[in-house]
Amino acid sequence: MIVVRNTDKTGETNGLVATIGFFDGVHLGHRFLIRKMKEAARSRKLPTAVITFSQHPRMALQSDYQPKLLNSFDERLTHLADTGVDYCIVLDFTNELSQLTAEEFIAILSRKWRISTLFIGYNHRFGHDRRDGFEQYVNYAATCGMEVLQAPRFTENKVEVSSSEIRRQLTLGHVETATQLLTYPYQLKGHIVQGNKIGRTLGFPTANIQTDDSFKLIPRTGVYAVQVTWNKQTFKGMLYIGRRPTLSNDGDLAIEVHVLDFQGDMYANEISVSFIYYIREDIRFHSLEELKEQLKKDAAILRSY
């Protein structure tokens, strides 16, 4: 996949078949839309493109908006590349762009990017105030010699697949459902930072993770079975997300992982965790010994999986 930025051009002169969206998660619904677009492109013998944005559109309109995203920008590009599209056109969503009507935006897609066929997701709207719909897009595109097609509605097991639904599943701790809808396990990436080392005294040393992207959604508090990737190696891990109610009342959210059967020092290295399933909720224990016994039970569940 070739990534093309705002001021660049693809170099294609015969036209492109494209679709547009933020594509947070690049989930089953997005992949269905892209697959339909690729089918249309094959029949027209034209290359494909996805048009997306470098940051969430609402961030340009609301300076204090704090999105909860499923992907960092780099992750989103990686997942889009996995779909097999030829180009990814990345636009900066500016105030100027937000003021364009759908008619004006379609004209730019035709003139600047040589989009000859635009594939629209079911019920997807764009343009200032999102006033127009599919019928208007078809009429506007006709004046530019562009074709507009609409993908059919997509569901998975009678569930509307959307980024919002996946976020909801993650906030409930339903990471297995999120995996099904995403087509891959949800992941957090970060760096290992110094912790209080209480885990060592309990026989369960942990690596404390500081996430790299402050906008990524943090799943429900509790204990998870995860796959840990560190130093190009993969391990089973037991991840904790919570505020350590047994140890303190400072309210700071902690993300820390105990890596099974690992001997060594993980500090100051990059790490990623992929969520496999939810083990239990965050609990306040009456003593460290009680916490230690529960950790043994959690580890036994993880080993038996």
145-160: pLDDT as tens digits: 999 999 888 877 777 8
Question: 26 and 151: one domain?
Answer: yes
Catalogue the E-assigned strands of the chain: 2-4, 16-20, 48-53, 87-91, 115-120, 147-150, 155-156, 159-160, 187-193, 207-211, 222-230, 233-242, 254-259, 270-280
**Radius of gyration of the chain measured on its C-alpha atoms:** 23
- Total domain count for the chain? 2
pLDDT of 287 reads 79
Q: Residue 64 is part of a domain; what is its CATH number?
A: 3.40.50.620
Task: Say whether both 146 and 202 belong to one domain.
Answer: no
Range of the domain at 252: 185-304
Rounded distance between C-alpha atoms, residue 245 and residue 281, angstroms: 12
pLDDT tens digits, one per residue of 67-121: 899 999 999 999 999 999 999 999 988 888 888 888 999 999 988 889 999 999 8
262 in Cβ contact with 229 (< 8 Å): no
Question: What's the predicted TM-score (pTM) here?
Answer: 0.89
Asked which of 160, 193, 208 is the last residue of a domain, the reply is 160
| pLDDT for 250 | 67
Instruction: Extract the residue ranges of the chain whose pLDDT is less than 70.
Output: 7, 60, 195-203, 249-250, 268
Q: Note whether 101 and 205 are same-domain residues.
A: no
